[in-house]
Amino acid sequence: MGAAGPRVLLLGVLLLGLLVLRGRGLDNGLARTPPMGWLAWERFRCNVDCRDDPRHCISERLFFEMADRLAEDGWRELGYEYVNIDDCWSAKQRDAEGRLVPDPERFPRGIKALADYVHARGLKLGIYGDLGTLTCGGYPGTTLDRVEQDAQTFAEWGVDMLKLDGCYSSGEEQAKGYPEMTRALNATGRPIVYSCSWPAYQGGLPPKVNYTLLATICNLWRNYGDIQDSWDSVLSIVDWFFANQDVLQPAAGPGHWNDPDMLIIGNFGLSYEQSRSQMALWTIMAAPLLMSTDLRTIAPGAKEILQNRLMIRINQDPLGIQGRRIVKEKSRIEVFLRPLSRAASALVFFSRRTDMPYRYTTSLAKLGFPEKAVYEVQDVYSGKVISGLKAGDNFTVVVNPSGVVMWYLYPMVLREQPWRLVQQQAPRGGARPLLL
């Protein structure tokens, strides 16, 4: 730990106390389930060349057209409601009164007009800021003396979500600024979901990151590095999140979520099987579902994955419990489990193999489910239903290389039995993957 580490930790503890005493913690009632929508960054980055690439540059046209697609192509009805601007939207200088302003050539009608258009489509608008002297792309940042002003500007524009990055700021500035933005957003009176990048800049783990504090400040937070358009990038995120699941899993819940970053399904770097895997693993993690792809040209196969109704229902489960990896086999098959409401569960069988489809045999009892229970199972992707699966019965799933099989399960006996007879049963090995 560097010399500044103890000072930052002490400051964080003091800020937590002040937030509680003053009633200034995050109490906006928002993001009770993981936010869903579309985010520009991974697919469109900081492309500001609207002369030679008008269709793909960061401009009001891009966001108008993505709002149209969300509203007209079935996304909105499934819960994909946010249209999120990322970096590089603003002018290079603030105006004469010190306010952030959009680039006048790329956003000639302004952010308020864009927000009005998005709202008229039954959607919500997100925007990007950075708690530093500059954004990561080199545009004006939100220094500590500008926090209140920028929060008020965003509220006046009709913004519904703020992603606050952390480039060009120190640890001490972040420890002051992220909680201060919470207070400033609350003070506007407008409900604005607050996404923080704070933990990602502090290594994502204790002691530098205090997740108890974060849950009082942010609705969601980035813990780890940016996703790239590649399977290696997806795997690096999965590896980090599940290697650290004992720390991260308890931090998530209604109103405060771990964010492993955007869905890159529909872009260039993932195969069909890998796309299905990202969707399933993000759902097990109770992650925000923020797509970053071109919805104007998305392939039918990618759209089908992203619009899977049962998958979304699992992701949006009101209990908001993040899942865990419960099995890691030498065969390079891994099993993940997420407890759901009404005594249901989601299981993912994931293959890290690169050779051929693998036949994996196990039983629910071996995975820690109560031995006398009987389950109905639905395959989330194929829709196939298995009725009357006993916990002790062996079954085999065929998992494709870099692919998944995902199940939705609920115990049939609970339809007729009193809830008082249902007990939480710890699986072998001391973990508790099933909550009944």
Q: Is the peptide bond before 207 cis (omega within 30 degrees of 0)?
A: yes
Give the Cα separation of 349 and 381 in Å (integer): 12
Q: CA-CA-CA-CA torsion for 25, 27, 30, 31, nearest 10 degrees? A: 50
Q: Would residue 86 show up in a list of annotated catalytic residues for this protein?
A: no
Q: Tell me the angle at which helices 147-157 and 171-188 cross, rounded to the nearest 10 degrees.
A: 40
Q: Which of 165, 259, 261, 317 is catalytic?
A: 165
Calpha distance 389→368 (Å, rounded): 15
H-type alpha helices, 165-219: 171-188, 198-201, 211-214
For 63, list phi and psi in degrees, rounded to 5: -80, -35
CA distance 172 to 230: 34
How far apart CA 258 and CA 221 sit, in angstroms, is 6
Six-digit token pair at 276?
């299905």
Q: Which helix (H) or strand (E) holds 247?
A: helix 245-248
CB-based burial label for 282 (10 Å; 0-12, 13-18, 19+): buried
**Options 68, 226, 229, 379, the catalytic residue:** 226
Structure tokens at 208: 């530098």
Helix, strand, coil percentages (3-state) for the chain, rounded to 5, are 35, 20, 45
Strand locations in 5-142, DSSP E?
A: 36-39, 82-84, 124-130
Q: What phi, psi does 34 have (nearest 5°)?
A: -60, 130
Read off the amino acid at residue 411. Answer: P
* 393 assigned to active site: no
Residues annotated as catalytic (active site), given as ranges: 165, 226
